[in-house]
Amino acid sequence: MDKKIALFIDGDNVSAAYADDIMKLLAQRGEVVVKRVYGDWSNKCKNWKKAVPKHLFEIKHQINYAPGKNCTDVALAIDVMEVLYRKQIDVFCIVSSDSDFTTLAIKLRSCGKPVIGMSEKTNDNFKAACSEHITLKPKTEQPKEETKPQKKDANAPKRQKQTQPPKEKAKPAQEQPASVNAPANTTATAPTPAPTTVTAPVNAPVLATPTANATAPTTEHAETEPATEPAATASAAQKAEQPQLTPLEEIERVVTEYVQKEKEKGKDKVLLTNVGDEIKLHYPTIKYADYGCKGLEKLLAKLNFKLHKDKTENGGNVCYL
């Protein structure tokens, strides 16, 4: 028999763009019998309205009774404990990027219930408290697809220039038979006294000599021109494919704003992994090696951020700002 799963989503902290991925992942693990989305549906949870009829989510509207206070976490935790004792549920799934649900996950596991955690930003404490944790990743376009149109545009002028010389060669080919046939007609009409026979041979050599001289430079230009064009187009394509690095000032600004927001929430320590997730959220294709750094820790040190380390119970180290 499939395991019965209860799904609780913190709509204020998770985007509705992950609704399909969440349901697909849980369908592989059992049957979702409870599906609830919590949040302020008049403000932050508006983007979840389209996903409600498709996945039959149960709406849980929560009003903030005091400015600056989020009551969604409390309402979600109360309902989880109510479902725990009133319904027969095998697995609980909590979808949120808020580390405040760490205590709730620990309580569920102490009652013998497996907990699946899903979040956009990985938090070490919440991840460790869950039986299984899944990081939700946004679906972004691949950089290669963006450069494909640029390659076609770079080659377009090359193809046009290569097709132009054959047209110039075709013109003298049509004019030469006329100049050759002109003297042939003059020999046949030489005995006649008509004035037209006299003008025909005079004009024939005049047409033949300029056309022969005119075609000579055009053929040389056609042979030498393609040799220089591929080098220019190749260099243009290489410049188009070279990635543009995000300025260090922008990265420093993102980290500073994120740390300040976490401090305002009352968090004295901002984990290094959370900072890395915040950077990846703004710049998904960033590579620390492009800045001459082996990892995120080296990059933050390069930006003059002070890093601190604490030892964990397992003997490891936890880095934070």
DSSP conformation letters of 236-289: HHHHHHSPPPPPHHHHHHHHHHHHHHHHHTT-S--BHHHHHHHHHHH-TT--GG
Which residues neighbour 84 within 8 Å (Cβ) at sequence distance 6 or greater? 92, 108, 111, 113
Confidence of residue 41 (pLDDT cuts 50, 70, 90): confident
**Which CATH class for the 248-320 domain?**
alpha beta
For domain 4-135, the question of CATH label 3.40.640.10 is answered with no
pLDDT of residue 320: 81
Mean pLDDT of the chain, nearest integer: 73
Least confident of 20-24, 208-212, 248-252, 276-280: 208-212
pLDDT of residue 213: 45
**Between 283 and 150, residue with greater pLDDT:** 283
Closest CA to 120 of 136, 131, 109, 142: 136
Say which DSSP state 101 is in: G
- The secondary element (H helix, E strand) that includes residue 9 is strand 4-10
* Highest mean pLDDT out of 119-123, 140-144, 153-157, 196-200: 119-123
Residue listed under structure tokens 């979600």: 76
Which residues neighbour 230 within 8 Å (Cβ) at sequence distance 6 or greater? 158
Please give the share of the chain, as a percent, with pLDDT higher than 90: 24
Does residue 151 surpass a pLDDT of 70? no
Residue listed under structure tokens 């932050």: 44
Residue 104 burial class via C-beta count within 10 angstroms: exposed 0-12, middle 13-18, buried 19 and up: buried
CB 97 within 8 A of CB 121: yes
Please compute Rg for the chain using Cα positions: 37
Least confident of 6-10, 174-178, 232-236: 174-178
pLDDT in tens, 194-247: 444 444 444 444 444 444 444 444 444 444 444 445 555 555 555 555 567 889
CA distances from 264 to 102, 216, 230, 253 (A): 20, 79, 57, 17
* Whether pTM exceeds 0.75: no
CA distance 288 to 299: 7
Residue listed under structure tokens 């220089």: 228
CA neighbours closer than 13 Å in the CB half-sphere of residue 212: 10
Does residue 187 surpass a pLDDT of 60? no
pLDDT of residue 84: 94
In this prediction, residues 41-48 reach a mean pLDDT of 75
- The secondary element (H helix, E strand) that includes residue 94 is strand 91-95
pLDDT of residue 239: 55
143-149-153 Cα angle (round to 5):
140
